[in-house]
């Protein structure tokens, strides 16, 4: 029996994190970073932070909460500088607490190190062993190897701080090749901005040009908001350095692209471009393909806002069924840091969405959403639409069934909590109370992105992990590593 009273079941897949960095001596870098983080707020809502340097000293301010809750005008003015990095966090490794907020800061033999990370490192046990094996020296004292938080970001920082290689760049290049998993890093010392992307390029990371400097960010939407022009992506396995001499790039690992397919489905903003593909256009294509694979006789196509909107538009285009707005989203309901009462929790989806009864009453509806994780969101939604007078409710999902956990930066439910493993589509349909249910096929989704299947990680759908995952987890779940 599938539980329906756990308030967590109203939560879908969690975003990972957003990173931003800017080198612009003639600009207000803290203000630019603030704007960039606003554009990346969807990638993490637990904490936010900014580190800035004048060239002599790094200042860091971070706290729990949304970007607008953490920073105000006076705080930003206390962060003067020529370069800065910023971070919005959703925890996938390490507890949701202040100690794990980013950027992290470390003293190193070369000065300060502030670092922000998007992704998830999978060989942390091996790296922790390596950290403890490193012999301290006069220039690298033992305290540099002490972890000050439980995040994999702190582990990366501690490792870089453990090397006296003549420069922070050289120390980082000792550490980066040893990291396994997904990571996009922005980090800095007092004078230089650095960025690095894992050899598989699982998470997006882009470079932008300002009139007087450079920007790196998780998504192109963050470049747009600060007025930076898109230059290119940071290549998989590439290390970037930016200072007053300009931008320099070098490889620390051979590229083996395996970009996350779920970025196209849900994670990235629709106004972002990944690998030359506009995310909104891809999602509309997904909807057209979904209509082709799962047609139905209906009167109206409606999205579950906002993530289902582009695919619902595509479904309407592909099917010829009119598109309409049948659900209104409360823009002020999001993740908060005040724990609500159980009574409020039980309202679940009704706090977020409200049906337009005059639009949907008596109609046969196609309801398009991005994914089904535990199933309770869709179950509550179908019930709500029927109570509002819908004659039929046909659910269409713009991703295949989510059957496997993600180890690379998305916090899905555990496999035991996912609804898809062990159930047929018909059984899931009955569980959520819909008249019919259709998921896009994995091949159809891949075709809609126009990215070759071999260049993407699709493990949450097919269980084939392109990168090594923790051995204990692999053995426990009998997972396949390609």
Which DSSP helix (H) or strand (E) runs through 310? helix 309-319
Beta strands 480-481; 353-355: pairing state = unpaired
Q: How far is CA 161 from CA 55, 99, 155, 334, 480, in A?
A: 19, 18, 10, 37, 35
Return the structure tokens found at 316: 């309407």
362: alpha, beta or left, given left = phi > 0 and alpha = psi -120 to 50?
A: left
Nearest of 202, 266, 295, 215 to residue 402 by alpha carbon: 266
CA distances from 432 to 3, 161, 428 (A): 12, 51, 6
Are the CB atoms for 35 and 226 separated by under 8 Å? yes
Catalytic residue among 15, 17, 179, 200: 17
Q: Is 307 annotated as a binding residue?
A: yes
- What is the end-to-end Cα distance of the chain in Å, rounded? 34
460 is in an annotated binding site: yes
Phi, psi torsion values for 42, nearest 5 degrees: -65, -20
**457 annotated to bind ligand:** yes
Q: Please indicate whether residue 184 is annotated as part of the active site.
A: no
Strand-pair partners of 185: 117, 196
Helix (H) or strand (E) holding 184: strand 181-188
Q: Distance between CA 171 and CA 160 in Å, rounded?
A: 6
* CA 314 – CA 451 distance, rounded (Å): 19
17-23 β-sheet, strand order: 58-64, 47-53, 83-89, 17-23, 213-217, 206-210, 229-233
Write out the two tokens for 400.
């295949």
Residues linked to residue 115 through DSSP beta bridges, in sequence order: 104, 187
**Dist. CA 302–CA 304, nearest whole Å:** 7
Q: Which of 437, 438, 455, 15 is nearest to 256 (CA)?
A: 455
Rounded to 5°, angle at Cα 36 from 35 and 41: 95
Pick from 405, 327, 337: which is nearest to 366 by CA? 327
Known catalytic residues are 17
Cite the annotated binding site by residue number. Answer: 260, 307, 369-370, 406, 457, 460
Cite the annotated binding site for Mg(2+) by residue number. Answer: 307, 369-370
């Amino acid at each position: 029996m599938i539980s329906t009273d756990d308030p967590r079941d109203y939560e879908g897949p969690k975003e990972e994190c957003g990173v931003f960095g800017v080198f612009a001596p003639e600009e207000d870098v803290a203000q630019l970073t603030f704007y960039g983080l606003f554009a990346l707020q969807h990638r993490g809502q637990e904490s936010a932070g900014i580190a800035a340097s004048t060239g002599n000293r790094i200042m860091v301010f971070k706290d729990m909460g949304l970007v607008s809750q953490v920073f105000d005008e006076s705080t930003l003015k206390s962060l003067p500088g020529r370069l800065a990095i910023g971070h919005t966090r959703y925890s996938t490794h390490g507890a949701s607490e202040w100690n794990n907020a980013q950027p992290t800061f470390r003293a190193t033999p070369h000065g300060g190190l502030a670092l922000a990370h998007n992704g998830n490192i999978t060989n942390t046990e091996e790296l922790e062993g390596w950290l403890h094996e490193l012999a301290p020296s006069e220039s690298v004292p033992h305290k540099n190897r002490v972890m000050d938080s439980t995040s994999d970001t702190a582990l990366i920082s501690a490792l870089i701080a453990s090397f006296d290689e003549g420069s922070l760049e050289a120390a980082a290049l000792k550490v980066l090749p040893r990291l396994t998993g997904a990571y996009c890093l922005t980090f800095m010392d007092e004078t230089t901005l650095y960025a690095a992307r894992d050899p598989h390029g699982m998470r997006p990371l882009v470079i932008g040009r300002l009139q007087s400097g450079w920007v790196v960010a998780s998504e192109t939407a963050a470049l747009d908001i600060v007025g930076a022009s898109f230059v290119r992506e940071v290549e998989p396995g590439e290390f970037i350095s930016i200072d007053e001499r300009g931008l320099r790039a070098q490889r620390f690992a051979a590229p083996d692209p395996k970009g996350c397919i779920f970025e196209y489905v849900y994670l990235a903003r629709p106004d972002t471009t990944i690998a030359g593909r506009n995310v909104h256009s891809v999602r509309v294509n997904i909807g057209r393909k979904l209509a082709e694979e799962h047609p139905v006789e209906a009167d109206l196509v409606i999205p579950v806002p906002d993530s289902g909107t582009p695919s619902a538009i595509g479904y309407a285009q592909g099917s010829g069924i009119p598109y309409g707005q049948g659900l209104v989203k409360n823009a002020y309901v999001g993740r908060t840091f005040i724990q609500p009462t159980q009574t409020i929790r039980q309202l679940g989806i009704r706090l977020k969405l409200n049906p337009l009864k005059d639009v949907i009453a008596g109609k046969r509806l196609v309801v398009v959403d991005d994914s089904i994780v535990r199933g309770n969101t869709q179950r509550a939604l179908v019930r709500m639409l029927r109570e509002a007078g819908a004659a039929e409710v046909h659910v269409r999902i713009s991703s295949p069934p989510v059957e496997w956990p993600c180890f690379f930066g998305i916090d899905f439910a555990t496999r035991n909590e996912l609804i898809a493993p062990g159930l047929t589509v018909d059984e899931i349909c009955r569980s959520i109370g819909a008249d019919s249910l259709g998921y896009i096929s994995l091949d159809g989704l891949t075709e809609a992105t126009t990215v070759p299947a071999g260049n993407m990680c699709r493990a949450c759908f097919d269980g084939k992990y392109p990168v090594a995952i923790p051995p204990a987890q692999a053995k426990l779940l009998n997972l396949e590593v390609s």
